[in-house]
């Protein structure tokens, strides 16, 4: 009797997860390509651009610039945007991933500026 119960529960969980995933995909497609898709894409793009500007502003204020300080700035900006209503945690993670990927370019640029000042 126990095996049947476990199988039924596992199957039910899988079906529930698949349904939730399908609903999430459908909602994303609707929001980004539906009747108001252009407006929703513009909103998404707007907060991400604003977050990047905030990171740049915070970087300018630093006296010592290193990876640890950069990560601290990213976490601070992420915390501010997590409290916004229309921004999901997945969107925030995506933007943070892009910003973390920019670290090598930023570091190269900063070192070039430092060499030019000498």
Could you tell me if 51 and 100 are in contact, meaning their C-beta atoms sit under 8 angstroms apart? no
Could you tell me if 73 and 51 are in contact, meaning their C-beta atoms sit under 8 angstroms apart? no
pLDDT at residue 17, rounded to an integer: 42
Taking only the tens place, the pLDDT of each residue in 35-92 is 666 666 666 667 788 888 888 888 888 777 788 988 998 899 888 888 777 778 888 8
pLDDT at residue 72, rounded to an integer: 92
Quote the mean pLDDT of the chain.
71
Cα gap 39→75, rounded to integer Å: 28
pTM assigned to the model: 0.56
> Which sequence spans correspond to the domains of the chain?
1-34, 36-117
């Amino acid at each position: 009797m126990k095996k049947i119960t476990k199988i039924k529960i596992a199957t039910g969980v899988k079906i529930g997860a698949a349904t939730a995933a399908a609903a999430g995909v459908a909602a994303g497609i609707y929001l980004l390509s539906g009747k108001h898709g252009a407006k929703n894409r513009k909103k998404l793009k707007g907060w991400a651009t604003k977050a990047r500007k905030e990171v740049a502003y915070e970087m300018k204020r630093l006296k010592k610039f290193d990876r640890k300080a950069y990560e601290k700035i990213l976490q601070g900006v992420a915390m501010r945007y997590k409290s916004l209503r229309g921004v999901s945690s997945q969107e925030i993670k995506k933007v943070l991933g892009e910003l973390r990927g920019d670290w090598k370019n930023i570091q190269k640029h900063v070192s070039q500026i430092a060499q030019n000042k000498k």
